[in-house]
A = this chain, B = another copy of it.
Amino acid sequence: MNKPSLRDVARRANVGTTTVSRVLNKHPNIAEATRGRVMAAIEQLGYVPDVGARHFRLGRTHAISALLPMIGTPFYETLLTALHDPVASKDYDLALFPLLGSQRVRRYRDPGALVYRADALVIVSQDPDELYGGPPPFRGPTVLVDVHHPGYHSVSFDNVGAGRLAAEYALSCHLPIVFLDGQDLPDAPGSPVFAARRSGILQTLGRHGIRPVLTVSVLPEQEGLRNAARDIAAQRPAGPFLLLAMTDDLALGVRQHLHDVNLHLGEDYSLLGFDGSAAAAAAGLSTVVQPVRAMGEAAAEVLLGALNGELNTLVQRQFSPTLREAQSTALRMTTA
């Protein structure tokens, strides 16, 4: 037996297809009796509406696609959870499309890719120009998150300001600064996030005539961290220093390996990270906090606004960093 269609239901209930459609879509002007007959027929046949056909007919999919560089980090979990709830409450479905490695980007240049079968597109942590070499092959509203571009709606974080804030706090510690820089994966498109933070940090330090006594650049991989710890141990300044790490993950990771080479947090060095992650909070790490939830919620708001056609102008929301101080920078107290 083939999948029953709306027509089969209509025949079974002795009504027209229009009536069945109306019942399904909860139209008001339907007699309770007919409604009952239709429901019964639906039940008996085990009819399920073909959403594909509906979407085809309507030209709208009721779907939102999110294009992510990857999954596997709490940042995206938090961001997308915050984004999901508001759009789901407006009955939009959210589908995730992680790049899962950069060679897969080619797939996303095809306008026929599944990701574009959606009413709106969210691009997270990626500059569309770098991703596509131009605009995305998508006609609907597009919102950028965690990245800024003058040509799109965007919800972003002031990473330059974050770098500045970190640098100012670092300066206030009056310790020599060791900079643990993050390096992009060789084949991935360069992350604008790291570049922005880096420039905020170095400019601010420079304005005070200060440069890091040591800069170690590390890939976001586990073995890189061990090497970084070795390098720091070998080339560190004589006394205590402040270690400024580009992300909390880097900070927490290197802390472990520094321990193995006999450098101890709170005695030999202070530690400052970026992101305000839950792990940082639990570990007592001072960090520049990024309001991830708020950004996700803001993105949802922009998205829904755009879908309702309420946005006649480009929305560019930028969130500011704050600093959360914890024990990891207590050393400053001793020396300040």
Contacts and interface: CB of A to CB of B under 8 A. Distances in A.
A52 B56 contact: yes
A62 B72 CA distance: 25
Contacts of A226: 282
Interface stretch (A99-107, A121-129, A145-153): A99-107
Nearest to A58: B52
Interface in A77-121: 77-78, 80-81, 84, 88, 93-98, 100-101, 104, 107, 111-117
Interface residues of A, number: 56
Interface of A: 3, 48-49, 51-53, 55-56, 59, 61-63, 70-78, 80-81, 84, 88, 93-98, 100-101, 104, 107, 111-117, 137, 139, 221-223, 225-226, 253, 256, 278-279, 281-283
A107 B95 contact: no
Nearest to A96: B96
A62 B281 contact: no
B100 A98 contact: no
Contacts of A283: 222, 256
Contact of A81 (B48, B74, B100, B279): B100
A99 to B, nearest CB: 10
Contacts of A96: 71, 95-98
A63 B117 CA distance: 11
Nearest to A279: B222
